[in-house]
Structure 1
């Protein structure tokens, strides 16, 4: 049975970073727009036809297409910060959910809304970047050294060679961008970029981001700074005690359906049903259509 929706409650905002499959993004908005204010950034390189624009406008969705968002680039941070600032302009928005355009609610959206009505926790994955390794690289290198992936496609063959080369050169000549900006490597945190966060914590994070020029200088030339900037700010603040590392997001960390992490399908249904998840990724239609149908039956 679905929960009742209390129109007197303060609003919540869903912030969406989208870069493809805009028809699916519209369906996502149709699913959640009765309960949430929606703010979307669509990758500037993505074509948006008039039908999509009309559908988003008719649902009163706030959307922009400002930044060319390459994987691992600082533009992801800028697009995210822009959405956060726009959502904070509405004083009634009390809670904020950052998701991707390939996410999908795994519970009835109203149930998700009601979970956060009186919740002051921050649901965010975090860990220290120092001495944590991905693909054989220490994550602190991604902040300590200089990268320019706003201009270069890190996933191209050239980008992969370039990345290895500039890492080698900067390690050899002992570049230390953190030391130059008077930041301790122990203060750098990382984690998944997706977050559910109350207004006071988000307001603090945005103010700190805007005022702390050292943070901006470091992350604007880092790799995958979208997975570090918010963690670094909040984990070095009094808000750290309110962070819950269980982000309630179902992600299948295997390679399936031609994707890593996997594109979710009906084989994931039992794990989702038996778990405690709010959002799931990655969803891709039509591969995920049967899963979506089965989720709708249990709502």
Structure 2
């Protein structure tokens, strides 16, 4: 048995449709951003498909609230001892192959599909990514994506660089031990159990990531890459993601023009998929399935 864990914050009818597509093969757990209001019809459809859904956290981009929602889903799914593999996707993801084919593949592997790199080696938007864990941020309270949030972020960086803040040193972690990567992962039970248990029993790590920026892209990588499970990690996550600006979004919102690239590759999931922009692409994928 396998589970798909979904972080959703918009286009709820599409999320319901995604659940209907996946449910014949997967147990489904969803965290809806607390700002989302489900209609009675949406609730009925989810419950009819035996989808477990929660709405505990007010999720904000770049904030620790995403980690809280992710860990909640993982712990809920782990309670079902029959589930042996877990897939974390967003509500804007869509299967690039048939759910049956995806399910069958993961029945025969114990690999972890998770991209990673050392945060100390990478710059994002001109900033050393390691700063995002070395320094203190409070984006559960401040909206990072507003104009004020962008100015506030720059001021935090300048101030903490001048003051030589190093939160990692305070908690006994080295810069070289912090890893980052894309949030979306496919992970077997033993590795996920280890990661959750490690996180629960190493409160200093929670303190680091609770006050970090984009910690949803770091906490799991840092635990698993520094563990005995590193040799089982495959960095090819088989997700089709176009990191370009299209339809007013980066990553790009996928459309029918992306279909030829999708079928030429070996992809399980794709993002971002959003109706109505992605209507023709979804139709082509459904025909392929």
TM-score (norm: length of structure 2):
0.99
Q: Please report how far the alpha carbon of residue 136 of structure 1 lies from its aligned counterpart in structure 2 after TM superposition.
A: 0.4
Q: Please report how far the alpha carbon of residue 297 of structure 1 lies from its aligned counterpart in structure 2 after TM superposition.
A: 1.5
CA–CA distance in 1 between the matches of 2:254 and 2:46?
25
Please give the per-residue CA displacement for 1:105-161, whole angstroms capped at 9, x wherever unaligned.
000000000000021000000000003100000000000000000011100011000
Q: Please report how far the alpha carbon of residue 188 of structure 1 lies from its aligned counterpart in structure 2 after TM superposition.
A: 0.1
Say whether 1:60 aligns with 2:50: yes
Partner of 2:276, secondary structure, is coil
Equivalent in the alignment of 2:235: 245
Equivalent in the alignment of 2:245: 255
| Equivalent of 2:154 in 151, 157, 164 | 164
CA–CA distance in 2 between the matches of 1:64 and 1:137?
35
Equivalent in the alignment of 1:268: 258
Please give the per-residue CA displacement for 1:69-109, whole angstroms capped at 9, x wherever unaligned.
00000010010000000000000000000000000000000
Alignment of 1:81-120 (within 5 A): 81-120=71-110
Q: Please report how far the alpha carbon of residue 264 of structure 1 lies from its aligned counterpart in structure 2 after TM superposition.
A: 0.4
Consecutive aligned runs of 4 or more in structure 1 exceeding 6 Å deviation: none
Question: Alignment RMSD, CA only?
Answer: 0.6
Equivalent in the alignment of 1:31: 21
CA–CA distance in 2 between the matches of 1:277 and 1:260?
19
Equivalent in the alignment of 1:8: none
CA–CA distance in 2 between the matches of 1:279 and 1:33?
15
Please give the per-residue CA displacement for 1:22-75, whole angstroms capped at 9, x wherever unaligned.
000000001101110000000001121211111111110000000000000001
Unaligned 5+ segments in structure 2 are: none
Please give the per-residue CA displacement for 1:241-299, whole angstroms capped at 9, x wherever unaligned.
00000000001111111111110000000000110000000000011111111112222
Partner of 2:84, secondary structure, is strand
Partner of 2:120, secondary structure, is coil
Alignment of 1:205-284 (within 5 A): 205-284=195-274
CA–CA distance in 2 between the matches of 1:163 and 1:227?
18
CA–CA distance in 2 between the matches of 1:131 and 1:243?
19
CA–CA distance in 1 between the matches of 2:128 and 2:243?
20
CA–CA distance in 2 between the matches of 1:257 and 1:162?
28
CA–CA distance in 2 between the matches of 1:139 and 1:239?
24
Equivalent in the alignment of 1:135: 125
CA–CA distance in 2 between the matches of 1:81 and 1:113?
22
Unaligned 5+ segments in structure 1 are: 1-10
Partner of 1:76, secondary structure, is helix
Equivalent in the alignment of 2:34: 44
Equivalent in the alignment of 1:4: none
| Equivalent of 2:175 in 182, 185, 189 | 185
TM-score (norm: length of structure 1):
0.96
Equivalent pairs counted in the alignment come to 289
